[in-house]
Chains A and B, each alone.
Chain A
Amino acid sequence: MSYVLGWMTATTRPEHALQFLVVLIAAWVVLAPVGLLRPHSLHLVAHILFPLGAIVSAAVAMQAGIDLIAGPTPQTMILPLGLPDLPFHLRLDPLSAFFLLLLGAAGAGISIFSAGYFRVGEGSAPALHGLQYHVFLASMAVVILADDAYLFMVAWETMALSSYFLVTSQHRIPEIRRAGFLYLLMAHVGALCILLTFGVLQGGSWQFTFAAMRGASLTPFWATTAFTLALLGFGAKAGLVPLHVWLPEAHPAAPSPVSAMMSGLMLKTAIYGMLRTSFDLLHVQFWQWGAAMLALGLFSALFGAIFAAVQTDMKRLLAYSSIENIGLIFAAIGLSILFAASHMPLFAALALTAALLHALNHALFKSLLFLATGSVLHATQQRSLGKLGGLIRRMPWVAVLALVGTLAIAGLPPLNGFVSEWLLLQSFLFTPQLPHAFVNMLVPLGAAALALTVALAAYVMVKFYGIIFLGQPREANLSHAHDANKLERLGLGWLAAGCILLGVLPQLALRVAGPVTGQLLGKTVAPAVSLWRIAPVAPEQASYSGLIFLAGIVGVFGITFVLVRLIAHGRTRRTAPWDCGYPWQTARMQDTAEGFGQPIRHMFGAFFRMERDLPAPDDVAPRYRIHVEDRFWRTIYQPVARSVQRIADGISILQGGRLSVYLLYSFITLLVLLVFVL
C-alpha cells in the first residue's frame, strides 16, 4: 500500500507530469478493447469499464490541474512509436494542460453517466460502445498532447473515425447513416485543410515537429494562407458557420453521451487547434486575422442562437446552441488576436481568458444538458419537444440538475456561464482603445451582437427547460416516465457541481487559465484581488463576486421560504387553475415549442427558408406544418453537391461494366506513360 502511495506521489510530482499522463492515456487505450472479451455483456462494460474510464478521466483532470497550478515548464517526450525516422513527439505546456483539464473534468462526468446509460439492444453491442468511446477519449487527449503534425493528424483522424462509429451506432436507421456520412465528409474536408496548414507551416524546412514550425519564418502571404486554412479546418470541426451543417444532423443522431462528448469535448479540440496554430505556431501577426475571426464568430453565435430558438427537437436545439457557444469562443479568440496584434497584451489576455473560460464552461454545461436529454429520451422515447412536458414531477433529479445547466448556459449568476460571458463583454468594452479607426467603429456593433446573442440564448433556454420540464404532460404515456438511475444522477451531479463551483469561485478558473495566457501572450489577467471577488483588469472598473450573488440568492430565497411558511403554514390548498370559463381544456392547450419560437422566426425571417402549410378555415381536421431550413444548404452545399454529381456523371461514361475494358484502360495508361517517360 505504502509503495503504491509512494509511486502515486512520485508520479504526481510536476516533473513527471507528462509521463503520468501518458500512462493514463495508455490506460484508456487498454480499457478500450477489454469489453470485446465478452461483447454482449453489459455488466462488464457498464459497471467496470466505464467507471474505470471515469476514474482515469478524473486523474487526467487532476494531474493537468496540478500541473497548471504548480507553474510548469513545458515538458517534452519522444515516444518510440510511429514510422522509422518519424517518431511521435509529445509536449505538455500550459495550453495543453488546460485543455486536458477540460477533457478530464467533463469526461469523468460523461463516463459515469454512460455507465448507467447504455442499454442492450440500442445500437451497437455494449463492447463496441466501450471500445469506440475510450479510443475517442484517448485520441482527443493525444491530439492535445501532440507536438508534431504527424501525431496530431493521426490522433485527429482517429478521433473523427471513432466518433463517426459512435454517431452511427444505430446504423440501421437511414437518417442516422446520412447524418454520419455528412459528419465524416465535413471531418475529412476539415482534416484536409489542417493537413495543408501544417504543410504551409513547415515553411520549406520539411520538419513537421511543432518546435520547427515555431521557428519557421513565413512571409506574410504564407502566414495568412496558413491561418485561413487553419480557420477553415478547425472551423469545420468546431461548427463555425458556414461549415456548421453537420452539427445539427450528427448530434441528434448520436446516443446522448456521445453527443455530450462531441459537443462538450471534441469541439474544444478544434478550439485548442486554433489556439495552437494561431498563437503558438504563427505568433499572431496581423490584426486582420482577428477581425475576420471576430466577424465569423459573432455571426455564428447569432446564427446559432436564432436557429436554436426555432427548433422543435431538443437535441437539435442543443446542437444549434453549441454553434452559438463556439461562435462566442471564436469571437473571443478573434478579439484576443486583434488586441495582441495591436500590442495590447493585457486586453488580449483578458479576451483569451474569456475564450478559455467559456470553452471550459461550455464543456461542463453543454455535456450536462445533452446527458439530461439522454435521460429524458430513455424515460419517454421522445425527442420532439411537442410531445414532452411536465417532466419535473416525474423526473425531479434530472429536472433539478438540468436546471443548473440551463441557468448556466443562459448566463445567469452565480453560475459559470455568466463569468465567461461577462469577461467577454468586459473585453469588448476596451476596444475603443484600438489604434484602427475602422475597427473601432465596427466593434461596438459586435458588442451589440454579443448582447443580442446572449439574450437570445437565454430565451432559447427558457424554451428548452419550460417545454420539457414545466407545464402539463402533452402525451398520456409521459406518466410512465421514470427518473434517471443512480449512475446517471452521479454523472449529471458531477457536471452540475462543476458549473456551480466555477460560477461561485471563478478565481479557480482564472487561476488555471492564467498560465495559458502567460504562455501565449506573456501577460496574465490579475488572478484574484481577493478570495471573494474577481476584477480582471482593475477593481475600480469592474469586479464580480460569485459568493455575494450566491449569498444574495440564498438569502432572498431563505427569507421568502421562511415568510411563506410562517404566513401560509397549514393553509395551503390545491385547486385547479382558472380555466377562463372554458371547461374542456386539454394538456395540448399549452404554449408549444413552435409557438414559443414564433416571434423569433418572425423577426429573423431573413435567416430561414420556410415552408408552411396553413389549414383552411373550414378544415375539419386542421393540420399545421412548418418546415424551417438553413439557407446555406441551398446557397452553398447543394450547388457544390450538384457540380460534384455532374462531374461524376461525366466520368461514369468510362464505367462500362466490363472488367477487360477496365484493364485495357490501365494497360493503355501504362503504355502511354512508358513512352512518355522514357
Chain B
Amino acid sequence: MLKSQLLAQLLKLLASGLLLISFAMLSRRRTQRLITLFAWQGAILFLSTSLVAWDAGLTELWYSAALTLLLKVMALPWILHRLIQKLGAQWDSEPLVNIPVTMLVGLVLVIFAFGLAQPISMMATTITRHTIGIALAVILLAFLMMITRRKAITQVIGFLAMENGLFFAATSATYGMPMVIELGIALDLLVAVFILGIFFFQIREQFDSLDLHHLESLREE
C-alpha cells in the first residue's frame, strides 16, 4: 500500500517535470538546448514507464520503456544533433508570437487540458490516472510550439515532443498501447525523422535557409 502510494507520488513528480520541460521548450530559442530538453523529456518518460511497468508487472511495458530509452533518449537526439551540426542551424529566428504571450497561451491550454482530463481520470483505473491531464497538456504545448516557430527543425522537435505526450497519455490512461502499435509508431517516428532530415537539406538547397516562410512561394496560384 505504502509502496503504491509512494509510487503514485513519484509518478506525479515525474509528470510535473514533464510539464515543466514542455514550458521550458516553449521558451527556449536555441535549437541545441531544445534537443537536450527533448532528451530529458524522453528520460522522464522512460523512468515513468519503468515505474508503471514495475508496479503493474507488465512485460510489454518494460519493452516500451526500453524502446523509449533507445529511441527517444539516445537515437533521436543524436540524429537531430548531427543534423543541426551539418545544417549549421543552432539558432531559431524570432518566433511568430513573442515568448511571454506564448507562455500565457500555454497556461490557458494547461487549464483547458486539466478540465478535459477530469472525466477521463474518473473512468481510468490505473495508478497513473491523475496524470492524464498533464499528458494532454504536454501534447497541446508541443503543438503550440510547432505553430509558433519558424524553423523546420524546431517544428520537428515539436512533433517529436507531441509524440512523447501521446505516449505518456497512453501509459497513463490504459497502461500503454498494444505492442504492435507501439512498434509501428516507433518505426514511423524514426522514418519521419529521416525523411524530414532529407527535406531539410532540400529546403536549404532551394532557399538557402531553413526558414519556413519561404515555402509560401510554393503555393499553386
B219 near A667 with CB under 8 A, answer no
Complex contacts, B136 vs chain A, CB 8 Å: 674
CA distance A656 to B220 in the complex (A): 10
Q: Across the interface, name the chain A residue whose C-beta is closest to B109.
A: A671
A659 near B212 with CB under 8 A, answer yes
Complex contacts, B155 vs chain A, CB 8 Å: 659, 663
Is A664 in the interface zone, CB < 8 Å from B? Answer: yes
Is A678 in the interface zone, CB < 8 Å from B? Answer: yes
CA distance A596 to B148 in the complex (A): 70
Is A173 in the interface zone, CB < 8 Å from B? Answer: no
The 0/1 profile, CB within 8 Å of A marked 1, for residues 54-88 of chain B is 00000000000000000000000000000000000
CA distance A659 to B210 in the complex (A): 13
A655 near B147 with CB under 8 A, answer no
Number of residues in A with C-beta < 8 Å to the partner? 16
B143 near A670 with CB under 8 A, answer yes
B120 near A658 with CB under 8 A, answer no
CA distance A17 to B147 in the complex (A): 61
Complex contacts, B146 vs chain A, CB 8 Å: 660, 663
B215 near A664 with CB under 8 A, answer no
Complex contacts, B212 vs chain A, CB 8 Å: 659-660
Is A675 in the interface zone, CB < 8 Å from B? Answer: yes
Is A657 in the interface zone, CB < 8 Å from B? Answer: yes
CA distance A670 to B147 in the complex (A): 13
The 0/1 profile, CB within 8 Å of B marked 1, for residues 649-678 of chain A is 000100111111001101100110011001
A671 near B112 with CB under 8 A, answer yes
A660 near B116 with CB under 8 A, answer no
Q: How far is the CB of A622 from chain B (nearest CB, A)?
A: 43
A664 near B219 with CB under 8 A, answer no
Complex contacts, A667 vs chain B, CB 8 Å: 140, 143-144, 147
Q: How far is the CB of B150 from chain A (nearest CB, A)?
A: 8
Complex contacts, B150 vs chain A, CB 8 Å: 660
Which one of A652, A660, A674, A678 lies within 8 Å of B147 (CB-CB)? Answer: A660
Within 8 A of A (CB), among B135-173: 136, 140, 143-144, 146-150, 155
Complex contacts, A658 vs chain B, CB 8 Å: 213, 216
A664 near B120 with CB under 8 A, answer no
Complex contacts, B220 vs chain A, CB 8 Å: 652, 655
CA distance A674 to B132 in the complex (A): 14
B219 near A657 with CB under 8 A, answer yes
Q: Which residues of B contact A (CB under 8 A)?
A: 96, 112, 116, 119-120, 136, 140, 143-144, 146-150, 155, 212-213, 215-220
Show 19 A/B contacts (Cβ-Cβ < 8 Å), sorted by A: A655-B219, A655-B220, A656-B216, A657-B215, A657-B216, A657-B217, A657-B219, A659-B155, A660-B96, A660-B147, A660-B149, A663-B155, A666-B143, A667-B140, A667-B144, A674-B116, A675-B116, A678-B116, A678-B120
Q: Which residues of A contact B (CB under 8 A)?
A: 652, 655-660, 663-664, 666-667, 670-671, 674-675, 678
